[in-house]
Chain A
């Protein structure tokens, strides 16, 4: 009889402790999800920021890039044309010289 009372007392203590743990554990989670509104994420973290809205120190000037691109294009074209012209002039000069030597050899 005394033993049964002791078991009942222990079970009751366990149930009370379990109830307290559950209540204390769940209450903060429940109130955070349902009650307190979360502040909205700042715009920069949400995704795209238009380039013209960046701070001035983060903006990249376009003009030097544009000038560099056109300078490279013109230099490459003129450089190549000059190179072909030089090679052609050299070959034509050499053709004339070798032809002259062949003609001179034929005359002898």
Chain B
């Protein structure tokens, strides 16, 4: 990962530098107009949130049932990514909704489930930070449940009547919008890979520091 770090950083910077140009040149959606362009950062941020949540869930499973310390480091990194990118989604969504729906928020199935999952990962991080000894296993349980909720969040728009657009929006995007959207998704995924690598390195550093302090005491 160390070798790939610099090329990935350059790639992410180039993609995020070019994304606003693509978004500005993308066609206007007929009914929503300008505000629809929030979608190009809103949906990819939720994709990254889901990816972070899945990483946290799978790593938590491996930590709980196989005792893998490395998996625990990935779980923390995944939970933090899920929280940060979930925050972007939770803020950009209501900004779009204010114009498109006339309200900032609706307690419908999609929005409520998304908030619950986001709060679950905040709970995971708070547990890790303030839970005391053994809280990593407790947090792993929370991470598992958080990840298990992701399919329900994604499919909620198809299962229940909600105000939020359905999952069929992405496959039916117009040609100018589709390319811009998937470019933004790719940029967010490259960024997520970088952040994950750096965040795992931080956790390894902390573990190494703990071992050094122990050997200093001996």
Residues of A that sit less than 8 Å from B by CB: 50-52, 60, 62-63, 65-66, 68-70, 72-73, 76-77, 80-81, 84-85, 87-88, 91-92, 94-95, 98-99, 101-102, 105
Contact = CB atoms under 8 A, between A and B. Distances in A.
Contacts of A105: 216
Contacts of A65: 35, 38, 95-96, 98-99
B208 interface: yes
Interface of B: 20, 31, 33-35, 37-38, 41-42, 45, 80, 84, 87-88, 91-92, 95-96, 98-99, 191, 195, 198-199, 201-202, 205-206, 208-209, 212-213, 215-216
A73 B96 CA distance: 13
Interface residues of chain B: helix, strand, loop or mixed (majority): helix
Nearest to A52: B33
Contacts of A101: 216
A60 B92 CA distance: 16
A85 B96 CA distance: 31
Interface centre among A63, A85, A95, A105 (most CB of B within 10 A): A95
B84 A66 contact: no
A81 B202 contact: no
A73 B41 contact: yes
A72 B80 CA distance: 17
17 contacts: A51-B31, A52-B33, A62-B35, A66-B34, A69-B42, A69-B91, A69-B95, A69-B96, A72-B92, A73-B91, A76-B88, A80-B84, A84-B195, A84-B202, A91-B209, A98-B212, A99-B212
Nearest to A67: B95
A76 B20 CA distance: 17
A101 B216 CA distance: 8
Nearest to A70: B41
A94 B208 CA distance: 10
B6 to A, nearest CB: 15
Contacts of A62: 33-35, 99
A91 B92 contact: no
A66 B209 contact: no
Contacts of B201: 88
A66 B37 contact: yes
Given A73-B88, A101-B216, 15 more contacts: A51-B31, A65-B96, A66-B38, A69-B42, A72-B91, A73-B41, A76-B88, A81-B195, A85-B198, A87-B202, A88-B202, A92-B205, A95-B212, A98-B213, A99-B212
Interface centre among B20, B37, B195, B205 (most CB of A within 10 A): B205
B202 A91 contact: yes
A95 B205 CA distance: 8
Q: Top 4 A-B pairs ranked by shortest CB distance? A: A62-B35, A91-B205, A62-B34, A69-B92
A80 to B, nearest CB: 5
